[in-house]
Amino acid sequence: MAIAALKQLGELPGMINVKMQVEQIIQLKKISKLREQHGLKNQSQSNHLVFTGNPGTGKTTAARLIGEAFAALGILKSSDLDDSDDLPFVEIHHADVISKYVGDSEKTIKAKFNQARGGVLFIDEAYAFVGGDQTHKTGEKVIASIVQLMEDLRDEVMVIAAGYSREMDDFLDSNPGLRSRFSNTVNFPDYSVPDMIQIAQKMLFDQEYQADNDYMNSLANRLWLEKDKKGFGNARTVRNIIEESIRMHSVRISQLDAPTREDLILLMGIDLQLNVQDTLSEKEKLQKAMSQIQARLLEFELREIVTKSSNRTFSGS
């Protein structure tokens, strides 16, 4: 199972930062074991991580796969005798934890940590605990319990706290013990359009669909339009667009008398609604097109600069 989860993470397009971080942790554990066998000292490092990034950049997906992999690899021990409740991945949200009854929130946090022994405890939108009810200081108390449990169960539970970067800073500053307990911050950057095209291809393949060139071109155009809009959801938007086109495809295919296997598999350009474009005026369409071309040019130029500079480094001049 560990191999399966790691393989799955490895196969996700992009996510370089998190892949590197996971590799480091696994190798560190391996070498620590070898050092132990040779009677050498091991400095115990915290496993806890902060994930920053916009919605849809893969934070939850990565955390879940890490939980599965680490639980199966036994990277996090579970010392509890009755560990039948252990789950490789336990997710908590502010709303499920905060209770109006004094002491309840801390109890919930403790129960969640216990469930996550041997795996990952994922705190989504961790900054939501900051502030809130000032009379009872519930959020503050919850964060204090989190700090305590992160220390007490440091070898058994890996805490991953996720959210937008600016807000994660507020979270980390909200208790003096918090920042030092997280070993690293992993940034999940917004996906570029080429990344999202790769993600779309993977999603289609996994769902046993194929797309023609017309579809892929329309999808790229649609993503160039959508990505500058407020509320753009990165890979989540890609998933939504694909699901929408799968519904359109079903409507189209249902009109055929005897659809073939290929009909059932193949998504075509017409299955992607381009209603966004239809509602724009001619001038707006031109402006959009211009800015897309400029963005594409910039991307090419940047790539050239990066290639040139990395060639220089490697040639050892």
Ligand X SMILES: Nc1ncnc2c1ncn2[C@@H]1O[C@H](COP(=O)(O)OP(=O)(O)O)[C@@H](O)[C@H]1O
- Which spans of this chain sit near ligand X (rule: CB under 6 A)? 12-15, 53, 55-61, 199, 202, 235-236, 239
Q: Which CB sits closer to ligand X, 140 or 167?
A: 167
- 179 contact partners, CB below 8 Å, separation of at least 6: 172, 173
Contacts of 166 (CB under 8 A, 6+ apart): none
Answer with the entry of Mg ion, ligand X, none that 139 interacts with (C-beta below 5 to 8 A by kind). Answer: none
Residue with Cβ nearer ligand X (156 or 191):
191
- Least Å from the CB of residue 59 to Mg ion: 5
β-pairing, 266-267 with 49-53? unpaired
In the list Mg ion, ligand X, none, the entry touching 19 (Cβ below 5 to 8 angstroms by class) is: none
- Say whether residue 115 binds Mg ion (CB under 5 A): no
For residue 289, the minimal CB distance to ligand X (Å) is: 28
Cα 165 from chain centroid? Answer: 13
**Please, what is the minimum distance in Å from the beta carbon of residue 235 to ligand X?**
3
Which listed option, Mg ion, ligand X, none, makes contact with residue 56 (CB within 5 to 8 Å by class)?
ligand X
> Which of Mg ion, ligand X, none lies near 15, with the C-beta cut-off 5 to 8 A by kind?
ligand X
Q: How far is residue 313's CA from residue 128's CA, in Å, rounded to a whole number?
A: 44
State how far the Cα of 224 lies from the Cα of 274, in Å rounded to an integer.
Answer: 12
Q: Dihedrals φ, ψ of 143, to 5°?
A: -60, -40
- The distance of closest approach from Cβ of residue 23 to ligand X in the complex, given in angstroms and rounded to an integer, is 16
Residue 21 CB coordination number (10 Å):
19
Is residue 124 helix, strand or coil?
Answer: strand
Among residues 57 and 78, whose Cβ is nearest to Mg ion?
A: 57
Minimum CB distance to ligand X, residue 202 (Å)? 5
Q: Smallest distance from the beta carbon of 208 to ligand X, in angstroms?
A: 16
**Using the rule CB under 5 A, is 99 a contact of Mg ion?**
no
Least distance from ligand X to the Cβ atom of residue 57, Å:
4
Q: Rounded to the nearest 10 degrees, what angle do helices 213-226 and 193-206 cross at?
A: 130
CB nearer ligand X, residue 7 or residue 236: 236
Residues 6+ apart with CB under 8 A from 160: 48, 49, 50, 51, 63, 66, 120, 121, 122, 123
> Residue 55 or 269: which CB sits closer to ligand X?
55
Choose between 15 and 153: whose C-beta lies nearer to ligand X.
15
Three-class SS state of 159 = strand
Among ligand X, Mg ion, none, what does residue 13 contact (CB within 5–8 Å per kind)? ligand X
- Alpha-carbon distance 140 to 134, whole Å? 9
Q: Are 178 and 141 in contact (CB under 8 A)?
A: no
Looking at the Cβ atoms of 198 and 273, the one nearer to ligand X is: 198
Chain positions 35 to 64 lying near Mg ion, rule: CB under 5 A, are 60
Q: Does the protein bind Mg ion through residue 273 (CB under 5 A)? A: no
Residues of this chain that interact with Mg ion (CB under 5 A) are 60
